[in-house]
């Protein structure tokens, strides 16, 4: 048994090392005093200072964050509403719609990107920030649905009816009872949509306009020349911010579950 646990822990450690070693190298070399990616020339923070003076990167970052926040909020609202509707359906119909919900997730990004590009061209929609937001909403909604559905299934089925019996109208029952119960799933869906939007390259490549270059597109254009350590600095900042959001989200989810267990234990 001990040997099995040792092998399991070793395997987990190797997987974590494989996943996070490249990120650790990136963070270390963001403080390298040289542009070389092979030699260490001393500790410095001037790449971070240079980063905030690079107008191209900063404008791309601002655009990326605006698109990510707007698309994630809209996708979270649409995905949560869709999940609530799906949860009310019978099993057969829900199974059909859940299968349709999985399609954008399993389809290659290039298919989604090309199909959206053709759709926007056919509808004569000008490519730019608007098409980026619409595209990011499209591929984010299924992930929100996938995060919210388990919370709805785990929720007491009679809690909504109980709220109605206690005097709430249907809208009040959803916002005061149902939404707080499934909030961990909603937050998880929002964080996933936000991360996917910031990270997206393929879909954005097909639907962006001349003046709407997101950060992944700008970084890709710079790789044709040479990636400067400023990109390492930017990647480090983004990694720390996303990690912080995930930690806070997990902390909130754990705290919410503890509160629910406490309420059930009290009863």
Q: Phi first, then psi: what are they for 32, rounded to 5°?
A: -80, 135
pLDDT digits (tens, 9 = 90+) for 82-101: 998 888 888 888 888 888 88
Domains of the chain by residue range: 46-266
Buried-exposed string 77-92: b where 16+ CB fall within 10 A, e elsewhere: eebbebbbebbeeeee
Reference 144, options 77, 93, 91, 64; nearest CA is 77
pLDDT at 155: 82
| Average pLDDT of the chain to the nearest whole number | 85
56: which residues sit within 8 A by CB, 6+ positions away?
218
Is the model's pLDDT at 36 over the cut of 80? no
Which residue has better confidence, 264 or 139?
139
Count CB atoms within 10 A of the CB of residue 209.
13
Per cent of the chain over pLDDT 90 is 29
Asked which of 38-42, 132-136, 138-142, 184-188 is least confident by mean pLDDT, the reply is 38-42
Q: CA 229, 234, 235, 236 torsion: positive or negative? A: positive
Is the model's pLDDT at 120 over the cut of 90? yes
Taking the CA of residue 123 as centre, how many other CA atoms within 13 Å lie in the half-sphere pointing to its CB? 10
pLDDT at 265: 58
Residue 42 pLDDT grade (very low, low, confident, very high; cuts 50, 70, 90): confident
**Radius of gyration (Cα) for the chain, nearest Å?**
23
pLDDT at 3: 63
Please check whether the domain covering 46-266 is classified as CATH 3.40.190.10: no
235: which residues sit within 8 A by CB, 6+ positions away?
26, 30
Is the model's pLDDT at 266 over the cut of 60? no
Kindly give the residue spans of alpha helices, DSSP state H, lying in the chain. Answer: 2-29, 46-51, 55-88, 91-106, 109-122, 129-154, 159-165, 170-173, 179-199, 202-207, 215-223, 229-266
Cα–Cα distance between 55 and 40 in angstroms, integer? 27
pLDDT at 232: 86
Cα–Cα distance between 87 and 82 in angstroms, integer? 9
């Amino acid at each position: 048994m001990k040997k099995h646990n040792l092998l399991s822990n070793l395997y987990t450690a190797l997987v974590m090392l494989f996943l996070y070693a490249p990120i650790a190298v990136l963070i270390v070399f963001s403080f390298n005093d040289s542009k070389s990616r092979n030699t260490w020339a001393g500790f410095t923070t001037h790449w971070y200072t240079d980063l905030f003076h690079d107008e191209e990167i900063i404008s791309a970052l601002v655009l990326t964050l605006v698109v990510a926040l707007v698309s994630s909020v809209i996708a979270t609202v649409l995905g949560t509403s869709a999940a609530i509707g799906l949860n009310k359906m019978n099993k057969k119909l829900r199974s059909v719609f859940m299968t349709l919900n999985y399609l954008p997730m399993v389809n290659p990004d290039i298919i989604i990107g090309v199909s959206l590009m053709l759709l926007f061209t056919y509808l004569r929609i000008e490519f730019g920030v608007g098409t980026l937001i619409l595209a990011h909403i499209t591929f984010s909604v299924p992930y929100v649905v996938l995060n919210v559905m388990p919370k709805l299934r785990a929720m007491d089925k009679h809690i909504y009816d109980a709220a109605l019996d206690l005097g709430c109208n249907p809208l009040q029952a959803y916002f005061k009872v149902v939404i707080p119960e499934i909030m961990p799933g909603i937050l998880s869906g929002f964080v996933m949509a936000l991360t996917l939007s910031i990270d997206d390259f393929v879909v954005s490549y097909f639907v962006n306009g001349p003046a709407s270059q997101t950060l992944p597109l700008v970084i890709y254009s710079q790789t044709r020349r040479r990636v400067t350590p400023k990109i390492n600095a930017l990647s480090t900042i983004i990694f720390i911010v996303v990690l912080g959001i995930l930690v806070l989200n997990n902390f909130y989810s754990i705290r919410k579950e503890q509160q629910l267990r406490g309420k059930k234990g009290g009863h």
